[in-house]
Amino acid sequence: MQCNQFLNRMFSKACEYGIKAAIFIALKSYQGERVSLKDIAAKINSPEAFTAKILQKLAKNNIVNSVKGAAGGFEIEKHKIASIQLAEIVDAIDGDSIYIGCGLGLNKCSEDHPCPVHHKFAAVREELKKMLESTNLEELALGIKSGASYLRT
């Protein structure tokens, strides 16, 4: 069935592109450079028009600044980079749903009325949440800068 859930893909494609785009923009912003959609899509290996939609979301959520017109592009204020959590990017693109939703899709699932996997998954989800909230854009950008990690292929 080739489903694209957690085991296959931790994030939606939109999220993947959004995270990588934000990292690249942060990296360039540290160098005082503004980057165009075209450059971003090329660097992170993503479809340009689709990436544009995602950047619009990041802009509307005040994660990146967009500048229209010639010599325009995207940037992030340097002083903000270290304070932007991975969780914020994910929330901007996928919505703030880390706190809600049942692992098995029950409409009503709580401590009082749990689904069969409620407690077991709560632990994993909590760990993911903590990780997203304790990871910021700065450290991810520094990883790229130092050559410790990569944005494509």
Partner DNA sequence: TTTAATTCGGACAATTTTATCCTATTTAAT
Partner DNA sequence: ATTAAATAGGATAAAATTGTCCGAATTAAA
In the complex with DNA, the residue whose CB is nearer, 24 or 140, is 24
Contact predicate 92/18, CB 8 Å: yes
Q: Which of 42, 94, 136, 146 binds its own copies (CB under 8 A)?
A: 94
Of residues 123, 132, 52, 33, the one with CA closest to residue 84: 132
Beta strands in 68-140 (DSSP E): 73-75
Judged by beta carbon distances under 5 to 8 A according to partner kind, the member of DNA, its own copies, none in contact with residue 31 is none
Task: Decide if residue 56 touches DNA (CB under 7 A).
Answer: yes
Task: Decide if residue 101 touches DNA (CB under 7 A).
Answer: no
In degrees rounded to 5, what are phi and psi of residue 148?
Answer: -80, -25
In the complex with DNA, the residue whose CB is nearer, 55 or 109, is 55
Task: Report the alpha-carbon distance of residue 21 to residue 39 in Å, rounded.
Answer: 10
User: Which parts of this chain interact with DNA (CB under 7 A)?
Assistant: 1-4, 12-14, 17, 35-38, 46-50, 52-53, 55-56, 59, 66-74
